[in-house]
Amino acid sequence: MSGTGVRKLWGDGTPVSLPDLSGLSRAERIDALRSRMSTMGAAVPKFEPSVEESAEQKQDSLAEKQDIVAVPSAFSDLFPGDGLPRRAVTQLVEQPLVVVDFLAHITAQGGHAAVIGWKDLAYAGVIDSGGVCENIIAIPNPGTEPLNVAAVLCEGLDVVVYKGPEISLSPTRARPLLGKLRQGTAALVMVGTKVSSPALSVDAEITDYVGIGAGSGRIRGVEMQVRAVSKTHGVRSGKVLISRPQDAALLEPEQPTTLRAVP
């Protein structure tokens, strides 16, 4: 519990009046509060850089890099540490396209993944986007104790996607799973079933299908509004386009072509 400061009470028991911080930016506010904490004698923890300090954030140490599972570049800007946190829970809204995109990227880089309890997930997209199917295992029917299956797999894989009923796990039920997760290597992505205070929680809503018209073109990309909430980095959101690399040129906004006189 390092860094947990206990607020000191001044003699008569009245709490210290805090200065008005509302006019300051987030970084300045954190600095002011930290300096106050240090004068109060509390150990100031080394916080990770805040959202505004994105330039410094790029220089993540190697150790930190190993603590994440890399995700496609479109998503990595939104996630703390540029990926899914290992040994922690990521809560993901039920958006199979995102999962397939993650699986393709992770397995293409040699990672191992498991998908538990997701019967209607189509893996054809994983191969289509360059993923490696040999590194994926699917357990559509995980038996009576699906959480135990997830816990075992978390010990040795890179990513475990768990899809369960729409319930919130009580802390008692989640504890064995989280204990195994902390000792393993995997990033656990939970879809449907919720745990209290996940390390990262990702919401994705489809906003547009790109490339298709009334009887023309075809679906070349899916545009999503992604919102990532993490304990350390607050809320980040942005637009993400899921498409195949070979379609990237077609999805560029059309430039007006200029005609040139040919002699």
Question: Which one of 88, 158, 199, 233 is in contact with another protein (CB under 8 A)?
Answer: 158
Question: Which one of 112, 162, 198, 228 is in contact with another protein (CB under 8 A)?
Answer: 112
Q: Tell me whether residue 54 or residue 109 sits nearer to another protein (CB atom).
A: 109
Alpha-carbon distance of 215 to 91, in angstroms, equals: 37
Alpha-carbon distance of 47 to 45, in angstroms, equals: 6
Contact between 253 and another protein per CB under 8 A? no
Nearest to 51 by CA among 74, 75, 25: 25
Please tell me whether residue 85 adopts helix, strand or coil conformation.
strand
Contact between 128 and another protein per CB under 8 A? yes
Distance of CA 143 to the CA centre of its chain: 28
Contact between 50 and another protein per CB under 8 A? no
Alpha-carbon distance of 62 to 166, in angstroms, equals: 37
* Residues 179-208: x where in contact with another protein by CB under 8 A, - otherwise, as a string: ------xx-------------------xxx
Nearest to 18 by CA among 29, 6, 27, 26: 29
Question: Which one of 42, 93, 152, 229 is in contact with another protein (CB under 8 A)?
Answer: 152
The footprint of another protein (CB under 8 A) covers 66-67, 86, 96-97, 99-100, 111-112, 114, 120-129, 133-134, 136-143, 149, 152-153, 155-158, 185-186, 206-209, 212-222, 242-244, 247
